[in-house]
Amino acid sequence: MKKIIKEFIHKGCCACGLGPLVLAVVYLILQKIGVADMLSVNEVCTGIISLLVLAFIAGGMNAVYRIERLPLMVAILIHGSVLYFGYLATYIINGWLEAGTAPILVFSAIFVIGYLIIWAFIYLTMKKRTAQVNEMLKKNQCTAKED
């Protein structure tokens, strides 16, 4: 367990630098489309700190897949749940999402669809790579038998 915690902290620290960068891009987009002309110091600081924490958690959560006794579907459920609540809290804290039933339902649907698309892409990529490795192994076995 100590190894998992160390990996969580390491991966979180590697990812947390991206949070403020993402925030800067979001704020620039909001400014360009006319949604945010001026931000208060409090808004900027809250945004930086909340996205720093979110990026740390999101980066660190990949360590959940290293827990050997944890079935993959349970790891995915834990990972997805922590990310969902982390993003939801960040959006509400920063005022990017109203704390109402309809906005949270829309956010939830978008999050689930996005999460499933990303996992489908990962699954298909891993399946293709596994097939390639298996094909290479078959070729190597055939070559070894001929010798």
Q: Number of folded domains in the chain?
A: 2
**137 shares its domain with 86:** no
**90 shares its domain with 118:** no
| Residues 53-104 pLDDT 10s | 898 898 888 888 888 788 988 999 999 999 999 999 999 999 888 889 999 9
- Position 144 scores a pLDDT of 66
**66 shares its domain with 132:** no
In contact, 67 and 23? CB cutoff 8 Å: no
* Domain range enclosing 118: 103-147
- Position 108 scores a pLDDT of 96
Q: What angle do CA 121, 4, 17 make, to 5 degrees?
A: 65
Q: Token digits for 132?
A: 């390639």
User: What percent of the chain stands above pLDDT 90?
Assistant: 34
**107 shares its domain with 83:** no
In contact, 40 and 99? CB cutoff 8 Å: no
Higher pLDDT among residues 110 and 12, named by residue: 110
- Position 124 scores a pLDDT of 93
**17 shares its domain with 65:** yes
- Domain-terminating residue out of 57, 73, 97: 97
Average pLDDT, the chain: 87
- Domain-terminating residue out of 97, 124, 139: 97
- Residue 16's closest CA among 53, 48, 49? 53
**20 shares its domain with 92:** yes
Q: Which of the residue ranges 13-17, 60-64, 119-123 would you say has the lowest mean pLDDT?
A: 13-17
Q: How far apart are CA 108 and CA 145, in angstroms?
A: 55
* pTM of the entire predicted model: 0.76
If one counts every other C-beta atom within 10 angstroms of the C-beta of residue 56, the result is 22
Q: How far apart are CA 89 and CA 50, in angstroms?
A: 9
| Residues 92-116 pLDDT 10s | 999 888 889 999 999 999 999 999 9
If one counts every other C-beta atom within 10 angstroms of the C-beta of residue 18, the result is 16
**7 shares its domain with 68:** yes
**53 shares its domain with 116:** no
- Position 147 scores a pLDDT of 59
- Answer positive or negative: Cα dihedral of 16, 21, 23, 26: negative
